[in-house]
Structure 1
Amino acid sequence: MNNHIVADPVLLAEPAATLELLRARATTLAGEFNGEVAPYDTLPHSMRDADFVPSAKLNLELFFRYVIDHIEPSAEDTQPLIDRAVTLVHDGMGLTEVLTNYRVGAAFFWSQLIPLMDRDEYGVVPEVGLRLTEYMGLIMARIATALVEDARQPRWDILERQHEVADALLSGREPGSWAVDPESPLAPAFLITVVRLGEPTPGTLTRLRSRIAHLPGTLLHRDSGGWTALVPMAADGGEPEQVLVDALALRDIRPHPQFWIGVAPAPSHAAIPAAYAEAQIVAEVARCLQLPEIVCRQQDMMFEFAIATTGSTRRTLAALLDPLDDQPMLGQTLDAFIDNQFNHNAVARALFIHRNTVTYRLTRIADLTGYDPLHPSGISTLMAARTARRLESKSFQHDGEHRPRAG
């Protein structure tokens, strides 16, 4: 009997070349991150509002250096990752969620990279899997150690108290003894500030959260769609929204930073839950409609706010435009007609078509939808339908609704 083992030709790819290829693919995957499209839309929303991309890139750099060059990451190498984890816990993310996101992130990259490999590259899989297990154990141990040490610091009790107070106020409960702190008295009135994300530049959200957290007397709270701050309102009666804009240096940022802040004043503690609900909807509407403003209020979007809160009626409105789906030029014309204040000549110039063509297309819109853009009731319904469809396409959701949301 021949006891010689014959190597499987499908496992003979050069390991070093395969590993470099995996590194390039993983780096590209991280660099093209977009939480609203596949495959990234399967990741937890909390990974997006925790500035996932910068840490993912550093993790990939350190991991592949470990696999390819056999250099174990030093404590100094991983310090930015540890600091980020500690900051997230300070901001209200639980340790379990922080560590779970590491596991989910590693599984995501693994699930995306393996199908891209050719059969002759499979030989590196056992080694990469082993090194990944070792790397994850190393990072998680350092995060846990840092958080244990951090929890021993006096400021930990202060952070815990602030989170408890924020949770109580937003849910309409009295914070009780948690709010007793002579050195940092609880403000009588707050500007409820809800942050929602588009696709911000990596690191943007971390800087924003740090700026808000450092506003005197501010309380932070994490929620299902992002995070919220209770910012004390000045007693002088000035415009709190303007004070916030100035304090966070949010004037004239170009291009748009791709985050939106919904605000609502709460002149008393009893008013906080209602203001919180309002600010959440405002922030979600601003995100879905990609409004040019960064700090947004209900009074600046009364039409859109009303449509956003109609629930099933909103979805019915959105469906009114379904007949135009097969003729995108009609939808484009309707958008231009609304955006140009119903001016036929302006629409013709914007779309580079004849004025008579505009009239013809508007007639077709009326025929297909049953609502005449040239009639006040018709155009108002179509405007509502357009807003509703934009909200639906971005998975608009607020606390009163319970349905799956991408990302």
Structure 2
Amino acid sequence: MGDRLLSPAARALALRCEPKVNELARHMAREAFESLPGYSQLPDDVKDIEVAATARYGMRQFLRRAGDGDLSDGSLRLFRERAAQRAEEGMPLHLLLRSHSLGMYVMWQALRDAALPGEEAALAELVDCLLGIQHHVVGAVAETYTDERTALDADARAQRRSVIRGLLDGVLPPGHVLLDELCLDGSAVVLALDLADPAEGPVAERRRQRRMQSCLDRAFGKEVAALFDGGSGRAVVPTAADPPADLAQQLAKAGGATVSVAWSRAADPVGIPEAARTAAEILRVARACGLPPGLHRMEDVLLEYHLSRPGPSAHMVAALLDPIADRPELLQTLRTHLTTRQDRRATAAALGLHPNSVDNRLAKITDRTGVELSSPRGSALAIAALLLRETAVGP
């Protein structure tokens, strides 16, 4: 605001208005502000006590300092405190700023009505000061409100992520009050996501996560509870419908990377942790089987899922491929051969080899492992061994 030297006429006009402060504050709180969108919904005690008190404080600060001829920067503490309170209560910022702007207008009207003929210059002087003060007040209010809202939103997001993580990991107590906020009271779809390409830096990663969150919300027509961690993600959706068939393509477009999505269904909130583990396993098995990016369900990898389950004989089955563990090209050939349903030409094309080279590699695999790949039993053993080796790390 800066120091100003006011004329005696301007100071006299300001002092003449000061006795009207209480009346003006009531007028602002109960009449003038009622025209603002959403103001009528505020509790009466907020209007009569806090809004009126803030208006009185602001007007007295201005009129007394003007009456003393000193308009140096005054305390903005109360304005900041009220702005923080309104942010915590959820009042929209536009309503808060409009109330301050309208309050300045009411102050101008009071000065105008109190001005006598011949005091036009004094009135202009005070209005000039009033407008100079306004941007300081509005700036302080907006800054405090935004800082408080940012902190509150960050706390809310952290709490929400904690609830979602606890729910998916099975450590959230049944009946937790925050489950109501997620609308989880019936069947739910649980998703596991895997992105092929990492984002270029933390800023790009946050932007990608926001786009993918928006994509999930649009795909299911509601706010989806999702967690993203670098190139992976998990989500739970309260819905009886299956995910859209093109969900992976939608997410790939939003995230700028190829996406694999696996899903499983929970009949109720209690079953969500198990569904999350199942979705993660489906995704892992699909990846181990060499399935292309897309939307995967249990039915798509049912045999492979079953064969990859650990058990008393699992280590023995996995050990069948130990003789070629030091030959990655043989393991890759076996994996590709099984993925292409034992089509030697398709295997050769995928690996950039001649079909005869594929035959030679397959013969070496059989010689070293004793697994006859041309028989149904040998193929099943090879699939199970590969899956057990490549899905050995638990969720």
Alignment TM class, shorter chain as reference: 0.3 to 0.5
TM-score, normalised relative to structure 1: 0.46
TM-score, normalised relative to structure 2: 0.48
Higher relative CO (Cα under 8 Å, sequence separation at least 6) belongs to 1
The structure where helix makes up a greater share of residues is 2
Larger radius of gyration: 2
